[in-house]
Structure 1
Amino acid sequence: MTMSAKRLELLLLVAAVCGAAAGHKLLLVSFDGFRWDYDQDVDTPNLDRLVRDGVKAKYITPPMLTMTSPSHFTTITGRWVEDHEVVHNMMYDAKTNLKVAHKLTLTRSEWWDNGVLPLWITAQNQGRKTASFHFPGGGANYSGQAVDRVLVEPLDHPDDNETEWRQNIDTVMSWFTEEDFDLVTLYYGEPDNVGHAKGPDHPDRKEIVRQIDRTIGYLREAIDRHQLNDSLNVIITSDHGMTTVKKRPQVEEIILNKYLNLLKLASFEILDYGGFGILTPRPGKEQEVFDALSKAPNLTVYRKDQIPESFHLGKSERLPPIVVVADLGFNLNSRFIVYVNKGDHGYHNGEMDMKTIFRAFGPDFRRNFLSEPFDSVHIYPLMCQLLRIEPAPHNGSLTVTEKMLLHSGGSQVSAPGSVTLLLLIMFNVL
C-alpha cells in the first residue's frame, strides 16, 4: 500500500470513529396520556412492527406527579420532581394566590427555570443543535439560554387533527435533513384529550389509538423517504396513563369542604385538579387541617415532610405543606361537584392505570427486544448516550436501559481515547 493510500485509509478511519463518537440524531416523541395497555384492545400494526424492529418496555412508571408538565420535565431532565420543581401543571404562587393554567405556563420561564438544565440546553452547550415541537418546557429560557428552535402549542390548538400530525412529522424531518438538527422533541396532545373527555374505555379512545398507530406508520415512511434510517434513533413514550373517574350514583364523591372549613383554615389550595391536591394551611392550623383531611374517605393526606421517600417530592421547596392524593378514580372536589372529566390522572404512580409506554428503534437499538419495566427518569441518560454527550447531574442510570443498545451504545467505538490513539498512529505513519 502506498503512503498516500495509507494516509487516505487512516483519514477515513478517523472520520468514522469521530462520527461514531458524535452519535446519531435523536427524535423523542410523546403521546400525552398513552396508557401502557392502550394498544392491547386495538389493532395497531405499526406499533406491533416496532416490537419486531426495535425495543419495547413492558411499561414505564412516571414520576409522582402523574401530570403532564412534571412528568415531561422529568423525562427531559432526568431529575425527580422535587429536584426540578415543576410540581404541577398549573403555575402558582402560594403567597400571592397566583394560578396560571397549563398552556399559559409553557413560555413562563420562572416556572421552569429552577437551576436544572433540560437536555436541549445541555446538548447545545456541547455543540448539538436542538428543537422542541410543542414539547412542555421547550418554550422557556434556562439561565438565559433558549432552545435553538421552538414551536409552542397555541391555546386553541386542536389535539386530534391527523393531517396536521403528518405535517408536523414532515417539518421535523426537514429539520433533521435540511438544517442538520441533532435532537428534536415532538409532542402530541392525544390520547390524553379524548381520555379526559370520554374516558379510557370509550370507543373514541380506541379510534385515536388507531390514528396514533397510522401516524407512527407515517413516521416510519418519512424516515425512509428522508434517508434517515441509518442516522436517526427514535424514542416514543408518554407522560402518564389514564383511569376512569368514579362518579355518582356509583360512589359518593369527595367534597373536602364537608370535612374542614377551607376558607377559614387554608390560605392557598389547588384541590379541583384530578387526583392530586395541594394546600397551605393558615398559620397555626396545619395540624387541624391534617386531622380533618385524615377523616375524609378515599384519599390519603401527607405532610410534606412526611411524604414517602419513593415519591421524590418531600425535598421540594415549592410544594405546599399539605399534599392530598385521592384513591384511584376518585377526583378531589373542594366545595362543589363541577367535575366533567370522564377520565383522569394525577394518582399514585404505582397504580397500573398510571403506567405508560416506551418504544424505541434506530441504528443504536437492538431489534425484537423486550425490556423489563423501568422509571421514566432513566430515559434521560439513555438519550445522552445516544447523542454522545456528557449528561448534566441527574437521578437516572444508564445501567437500567443499556441492554436495549447494540454494543453498549451502538455505533460508539469506545471513547475519545480511541480517537486520540488513531490520530497518533496516523501522524506517526504520515
Structure 2
Amino acid sequence: MFALLGSVATLLALGACAPLQGASHHSKLLLVSFDGFRWNYDQDVDTPNLDAMARDGVKAQYMIPPFVTQTSPCHFTLLTGRYIENHGVIHNMWFNTTTGQKLPYYNTQGRSDWWDNGSLPIWITAQRQGLKTASLFFPGGNATYQGEQVEVKKVEKLFHKYDNETEWRQNVDTVMKWLSEDDLDFVALYFGEPDSTGHKFGPESQERKDMVRQVDRTVGYLRQRINQTGLSPRLNLVVTSDHGMETVIKKDEIHLAKVANFSFRDIQFQLVDYGPQGLLLPKPGKLEQVYEALVNAHPNLHVYKKEEFPGRFHYANNTRITPLVLYGDPGYVIHGYIKVQINKGEHGFDNNSTNMKTIFRAEGPDFRRGLEVEPFESVNVYALLCKLLEITPEPHDGSLTVTEHMLVKNAGTRLNSPLATWNLALVLGLDSGIYVNGSST
C-alpha cells in the first residue's frame, strides 16, 4: 500500500509540475453556425446526423437569440457574450445618420469601425492568451479589433453562392486541416444556409426542407472528417445558429408611406425596408409629430421612442440607436416609400417569438452524452466557449452557470490542475479524502 502511495505521490507531483509531453492543455474547439436554422427544422425532415449528435452529446430544446434577430448582431453576441446594445453591432448594415449613407451586409463585414466597439470576439481574446484561432466566413471575421485580426481567416467573396454543397465540403476539409495539421485551437465556421433558402421560398417550403437535409449531410461529413483526422478525443464541436425564420404575411401589410399624417419629408434618416425592424431619425422639431403619426398607425406595428423601448430587448441603450425604433409583429415586415421586400421568409422579429428561436447541439470529450437541456439565451454561449478553451473571458452579459451542467465534471481543466490531479487519484483507486489547496475534495 505504501509503495502504491509512493508511486501515486510521484505521479501527482509530476502532474502538478508540468503537462504531459505532446499533449494539449485543453481540447480544441470548433464552432459551427448554420444561419437561419429554426429550432424545429429537424421535426419535419429526417436529420440522422443531427440526431446522432444529440445522442452522443447535448441538445437544447431551443436557444433564444438576442433582439434584433439579424445575422451580424446575433453572431456577435455568440462571439462576445454581450447583448446587442452592449456590443454595438445593432444591424446588418453600417450606416451614417448624418450623410444618409448605408452599406449592405457584405460591405459592412469589412468596416472595422462598425464591429470594433470595445467588445472583443472570442478569437482575439484566445489569441491574447496564447491560442491559435481562425474564422471561415464567420460574421465579424473580416474586421480588426483594437489593432488585431483573427490569425487565420477566409472571407466570403461578393455575391457568394451560399448553397454550394461541394464548397461546403471543401470548407470542412479546410477547417480539418487547420485543426489537425496546422494545430489551431479554435475555429469558427459559418454557412449561409438554410437562411437564404428560407428567405426566398419560405420556412414551410419544400426547398427549405431539402436544404435542411443538405445541412444534415454536411454535419455527417463533418463528424466523419473529425473521426478520420483523429480529432475525436480532443475536439469539442458546437453546432448552432443565429436566429429562426418566419413566414411573411402579405395581407394588410405595414406601409409607412400610406400612413396618414406621416411624411418621409419629416425624416432626416431612415433604415426601413429591411425586414420587420426600423430605425427613424426625425428632422429637428419633428420627433413628436412623427411619433404621434406612427404610434397607432397599424395594429401590428410597434413604435417606441428610444428611451421607452422595452428593456427586455437589451437593444435600445446604445448611441447608434435612432430616436424612434420600430418593429412588426411576427410575419409583418415594414415597407417604406414603396414595397421593395419580396421575401417569403423573414427574421428580425421579437426574439421571444417561437419561430425566431434556434438550435444548439454539442459533442466532444468535455460534453456529457445523451443530454437534452432546457432552453437558454445565446448570450450564455460565450462563457461556455471560454470554459472549453480554458481562457479568461472578457466582461460579458451571460453566465457559465446556465450551461456548465452540459459538461463532464472536469471539462476545461488543465492536465496539471488540482482538479485533474484529484481525478487521477480517483482513477488509481485512492480514498476520496484527499486535500487539495487546503480543502477536502
What's the TM-score once normalised by structure 1's chain length?
Answer: 0.92
Deviation at 1:263, TM superposition (A): 2.7
2:366 matched residue in structure 1: 364
Distance (Å, rounded) in 1 between the aligned partners of 2:48 and 2:234: 24
Deviation at 1:78, TM superposition (A): 0.3
Q: Percent identity?
A: 53
Deviation at 1:123, TM superposition (A): 0.4
Distance (Å, rounded) in 2 between the aligned partners of 1:383 and 1:18: 25
The CA deviation string for residues 294-339 of structure 1, in whole angstroms up to 9 with x for no partner, is 1221110111111111110121111111110101101100121222
Moved over 6 A (4+): 1-9, 17-21, 416-419
Q: Map residues 209-220 of structure 1 onto 2, 5 A cutoff.
A: 209-220=212-223
Equivalent position amino acid for 1:255 in 2? H
Deviation at 1:7, TM superposition (A): 6.5
Distance (Å, rounded) in 2 between the aligned partners of 1:257 and 1:87: 25
Matched, 1:323 2:330: no
Matched, 1:302 2:304: yes
Equivalent position amino acid for 1:203 in 2? Q
Q: Which of 67, 79, 89 is the aligned partner of 2:92? A: 89
Deviation at 1:25, TM superposition (A): 0.5
1:253 matched residue in structure 2: 253
2:269 matched residue in structure 1: 268
Distance (Å, rounded) in 1 between the aligned partners of 2:407 and 2:22: 18
Matched, 1:349 2:325: no
Secondary structure in structure 2 of the residue aligned to 1:22: coil
Contact 2:413/2:419, CA 8 A, preserved across alignment: no
Distance (Å, rounded) in 2 between the aligned partners of 1:344 and 1:141: 30
The CA deviation string for residues 267-295 of structure 1, in whole angstroms up to 9 with x for no partner, is 00011000111100111111111111112
Structure-2 change in CA distance of 1:126 and 1:416 (3 Å): farther
Deviation at 1:9, TM superposition (A): 7.9
2:191 matched residue in structure 1: 188
Contact 1:21/1:388, CA 8 A, preserved across alignment: no
Secondary structure in structure 2 of the residue aligned to 1:370: strand
Contact 1:20/1:411, CA 8 A, preserved across alignment: no
Q: Map residues 402-421 of structure 1 onto 2, 5 A cutoff.
A: 402-407=404-409, 409=411, 411-412=413-414, 415=417
Distance (Å, rounded) in 2 between the aligned partners of 1:228 and 1:14: 26
Structure-2 change in CA distance of 1:174 and 1:391 (3 Å): same
Distance (Å, rounded) in 2 between the aligned partners of 1:21 and 1:175: 15
Distance (Å, rounded) in 2 between the aligned partners of 1:81 and 1:163: 34
Equivalent position amino acid for 1:277 in 2? G
Distance (Å, rounded) in 2 between the aligned partners of 1:314 and 1:413: 44
Distance (Å, rounded) in 2 between the aligned partners of 1:266 and 1:18: 65
Give the length in aligned residue pairs: 417
1:425 matched residue in structure 2: none
Q: Which of 371, 383, 386 is the aligned partner of 2:385? A: 383
Deviation at 1:5, TM superposition (A): 11
1:282 matched residue in structure 2: 283
Deviation at 1:148, TM superposition (A): 0.1
Matched, 1:46 2:55: no
Equivalent position amino acid for 2:67 in 1? M
Contact 1:130/1:182, CA 8 A, preserved across alignment: yes
Deviation at 1:167, TM superposition (A): 0.7
Deviation at 1:415, TM superposition (A): 4.7
Q: Which of 104, 108, 130 is the aligned partner of 1:105? A: 108
Matched, 1:393 2:409: no
Structure-2 change in CA distance of 1:40 and 1:414 (3 Å): farther
Contact 1:21/1:416, CA 8 A, preserved across alignment: no
Deviation at 1:359, TM superposition (A): 0.3
* Consecutive unaligned residues in structure 2, runs of 5 or more: 425-441
Distance (Å, rounded) in 1 between the aligned partners of 2:410 and 2:263: 55
The CA deviation string for residues 233-266 of structure 1, in whole angstroms up to 9 with x for no partner, is 010000010010011xxx2111102224433211
Secondary structure in structure 1 of the residue aligned to 2:409: helix
Contact 1:57/1:373, CA 8 A, preserved across alignment: yes
Distance (Å, rounded) in 2 between the aligned partners of 1:5 and 1:197: 63
Distance (Å, rounded) in 2 between the aligned partners of 1:59 and 1:408: 26
Contact 2:413/2:420, CA 8 A, preserved across alignment: no
Secondary structure in structure 1 of the residue aligned to 2:340: coil
1:25 matched residue in structure 2: 28
Contact 2:35/2:193, CA 8 A, preserved across alignment: yes
Contact 1:106/1:152, CA 8 A, preserved across alignment: no
Q: Map residues 231-250 of structure 1 onto 2, 5 A cutoff.
A: 231-247=234-250
The CA deviation string for residues 378-400 of structure 1, in whole angstroms up to 9 with x for no partner, is 00000000000000000010000
Contact 2:16/2:418, CA 8 A, preserved across alignment: no
The CA deviation string for residues 41-86 of structure 1, in whole angstroms up to 9 with x for no partner, is 0011111111110000000110001000000000000001111110
Structure-2 change in CA distance of 1:281 and 1:386 (3 Å): same
Contact 2:34/2:241, CA 8 A, preserved across alignment: yes
Secondary structure in structure 2 of the residue aligned to 1:406: coil
Secondary structure in structure 2 of the residue aligned to 1:407: coil
Matched, 1:338 2:344: no
* Consecutive unaligned residues in structure 1, runs of 5 or more: 423-430
Contact 2:387/2:412, CA 8 A, preserved across alignment: no
Cα RMSD of the aligned pairs, angstroms, is: 2.3
Secondary structure in structure 2 of the residue aligned to 1:336: coil
